[in-house]
Structure 1
Amino acid sequence: MTGRARSHDPAYRATVRAFVEGDPLDQAGGLLDVRAVVAGIPPEAKDGFLLEEVPWDRFPGGVRVREVMGWLRSGEAPVGSALGTLIALCADDMRAAVAPAVPFLIRLGTGPESGHRAEVLSVVGEAARMRHQGVCSRADMLRFRGDDELCFEVTGYPQNWSVRAARDAISADTDHLLPLLDDPAPAVRIADAYVLAAASGRAQDILGVLRSRLPTEQNSAVRAGLVLAIAQLARAHQDLGTAAWMRSCWSDPARPPEERVSAALGWMCLTDLPVPGDLRATVDALATDGTARLMAALPWMRAIETVGESGLHRVLHGMLEPERADAEGFDDPWC
């Protein structure tokens, strides 16, 4: 949506009045709180794909999302093009429009006849993360900002609320998502783990399933993704025992290289302890170009990679050499 189009959008003007000119906290729980809107979608509306039950027009770009969801439901437009519109809104930092679609996207992606599961789940995963998720520091790579740290989308809408609404929707539909960890397609299993890592609730249930799935997973990239999903979920829910589990993983020579490297990343994100020498030795030995290519399929790595450097090597650079990374602009989440 261009600046001119936004200025003529009633939802955009209402957002500016409420959140830019007014106090955002006055809107908490009200008609413009997307968290309350998503939580209030009746179960029968989600299951019946009753799009008319959602007040899409309250949020900038929401009318367009309603139109796209109708196309997806009816098959009137190519799925890739429709999903691309939703991803573009997330990339343009307009997640408030996409968050109400998350319960419906989950049902599209997990339904028995879905032929685009990975693509649909990718939209859900991106709606549930802020743009800052691509930074490379130990403090920020896997972090979800708290509700008390307001930051804003390009429209002036609180980005925290949009992301939280999507995360709450994932939590509410965990039972739809967990079975896809056994999907025959590795891309679906990776996307599903990425989505589950963003859940705002049921953390112990999800962590238990992810950890029990890891020993039976045969695909190397999926194993790496499961470990990162465990780390991100544990960080969000302050599961203190997971840091020790990560250490046991990266220090175990019997585990596959990609699993150990992901566990090393997870451990660094879960603790602020100094990086031990044996961790550095582990990643020096195992974070090869081959491991980087294998892990490039993971959305966490795609969010970090640049034209000249793989996601894995860039994040290790940022975590293990923070002074050099800062000097080169690696702390810039927009790069």
Structure 2
Amino acid sequence: MNSWERDPAYRTVVRAFVDGDPLDQVGGPLDVRAVVAGIRPEAKDGLLLEEVPWDHFPEGARVREVMERLRSGDAADVSSALGMLIGLCANDMRAAAAPAVPFVIRISTAPEDHHRAEALAVVGEVARMRHQGVCTRADMLRFRGNDEWSFEVTGYLQNWSVQAAREAIAEDTDRLLPLLDDPDPAVRIATAYALAAASDRAQDILTAFRSRLLVEHNPTARAGLVLAIAQLARAHPDPGAVVWMQARWSDPEQPPEVRVCAALGWMCLTDLPVPDELRAMLDDLASDETAQLMAPLPWMQAVETARGSGLHRCLRAMLHPGMAEIEDCDDPWS
């Protein structure tokens, strides 16, 4: 039996969400959205972890312990704690991690913090469902709606965990926006990934993304900004987003990584047939070099496998839907 199966919170969740009707829990002590929304600003700013009912959710006791390590400021403890939170996401157990998001945001925005990129990666991952590793046109950048229920391995309603994290990001948008100008490109990439998941403030975030793209000198960070713009538009429909993406993938003056990511964004934002011009551009620019440049992006890491890069897997799925995976192929999407 797994440790979380021995957790009293796990058994409570099974009774409430598996054996019972999840809607009966709306707004109650098992609704993580209500729990996160109810954390006082003073508690967030003061890292008052004791004000959060961690033990309402499976693995909550462990999360409370690792949050103490985060609060300690010890470099090794902080790195280990962030790794454990990422592990919960990888194991599809976000309910206990969602209340940590406001605190992790404050740790990541502290001037003396040396783990900003790691912390922001946690924020971004808690705010995305397990399906985010899918690389089809319909699903790569999609956030599921409340009418499409998905459950975590513990039986908890994953939609609520993700929604709680996305709302926490939106609440702290003003704290995160300045990190788009951080000297470290890894921090800029992770910030864009987190902000793209925000449940609100879309126009402010979009304006910041586009402004940063105009001055961004790092190719990988440029690619990340384009994907972040596309995902923001996927979550908050923007009638001009498809036109914006097309203007960039079709512009030979744009850098290769911008054109390639704009092509991905365009395909995810519309179901129109893929133009021959776009296919030809990808044949030319979606090289192994471009795939390697984009490999550090969390969107690409989510779909990368031993069979191929994240970029080439996306292109194979989007340009040739239904095609079987090919392990050894000179042209990964032909």
TM-score (norm: length of structure 1): 0.95
Alpha-carbon distance in 1 for matches of 2:324, 2:26: 38
Alpha-carbon distance in 2 for matches of 1:104, 1:6: 23
Q: Quote how far apart the aligned CAs of 1:4 are.
A: 4.1
Cross-structure match for 1:50: 48
Q: Quote how far apart the aligned CAs of 1:137 are.
A: 0.5
Alpha-carbon distance in 2 for matches of 1:326, 1:59: 38
Instruction: From the superposition, tell whether residues 319 and 63 of structure 1 become closer, same or farther in structure 2 (CA, over 3 Å).
Output: same
Instruction: From the superposition, tell whether residues 147 and 326 of structure 1 become closer, same or farther in structure 2 (CA, over 3 Å).
Output: farther
Cross-structure match for 1:332: none
Cross-structure match for 1:331: none
Query: Percent identical across equivalent pairs?
Result: 72
Cross-structure match for 1:113: 112
Cross-structure match for 2:331: none
Cross-structure match for 1:93: 92
1:184-205 Cα distance to aligned partner (Å, 9 max, x none): 0010000000000000000011
Match runs of 1:299-314 below 5 Å:
299-314=298-313
Cross-structure match for 1:280: 279
Match runs of 1:18-33 below 5 Å:
18-33=16-31
CA contact (8 A) 2:176 2:191 kept: yes
Cross-structure match for 2:34: 36
Alpha-carbon distance in 1 for matches of 2:68, 2:302: 29
For 2:178, the aligned partner's letter is P
SS of 1:111 mapped into structure 2: coil
Alpha-carbon distance in 1 for matches of 2:201, 2:2: 42
Alpha-carbon distance in 2 for matches of 1:215, 1:270: 22
Match runs of 1:179-328 below 5 Å:
179-325=178-324
Q: Quote how far apart the aligned CAs of 1:240 are.
A: 1.7
Q: Quote how far apart the aligned CAs of 1:34 are.
A: 0.2
Alpha-carbon distance in 1 for matches of 2:230, 2:2: 42
Cross-structure match for 1:152: 151
Alpha-carbon distance in 1 for matches of 2:185, 2:326: 37
CA contact (8 A) 1:317 1:325 kept: no
SS of 1:322 mapped into structure 2: coil
1:280-324 Cα distance to aligned partner (Å, 9 max, x none): 111111101100000001000000111120100110000001031
Alpha-carbon distance in 2 for matches of 1:42, 1:72: 19
SS of 1:324 mapped into structure 2: coil
1:116-165 Cα distance to aligned partner (Å, 9 max, x none): 10011111111011111011110000000001111100000001100110
Cross-structure match for 1:80: 79
Alpha-carbon distance in 2 for matches of 1:326, 1:162: 32
For 1:323, the aligned partner's letter is G
Cross-structure match for 2:3: 5
Q: Quote how far apart the aligned CAs of 1:79 are.
A: 2.0
SS of 1:157 mapped into structure 2: coil
Alpha-carbon distance in 2 for matches of 1:28, 1:254: 51
Unaligned runs of 5+ residues in structure 2 are 328-334
CA contact (8 A) 1:247 1:263 kept: yes
Alpha-carbon distance in 2 for matches of 1:238, 1:325: 32
Cross-structure match for 1:126: 125
TM-score (norm: length of structure 2): 0.95
SS of 2:323 mapped into structure 1: helix
Q: Quote how far apart the aligned CAs of 1:326 are.
A: 7.8
SS of 2:153 mapped into structure 1: coil
Instruction: From the superposition, tell whether residues 293 and 97 of structure 1 become closer, same or farther in structure 2 (CA, over 3 Å).
Output: same
For 1:222, the aligned partner's letter is A
For 2:33, the aligned partner's letter is R
Instruction: From the superposition, tell whether residues 326 and 288 of structure 1 become closer, same or farther in structure 2 (CA, over 3 Å).
Output: closer
Alpha-carbon distance in 1 for matches of 2:324, 2:170: 35
Q: How many pairs does the alignment contain?
A: 326
SS of 2:253 mapped into structure 1: coil
Cross-structure match for 2:138: 139
1:70 alignment partner, one of 68, 78, 90: 68
SS of 1:247 mapped into structure 2: helix
Q: Quote how far apart the aligned CAs of 1:82 are.
A: 1.3
Cross-structure match for 2:330: none
For 1:137, the aligned partner's letter is T
Alpha-carbon distance in 1 for matches of 2:70, 2:87: 16
Instruction: From the superposition, tell whether residues 241 and 143 of structure 1 become closer, same or farther in structure 2 (CA, over 3 Å).
Output: same
RMSD over aligned Cα, in angstroms? Answer: 1.2
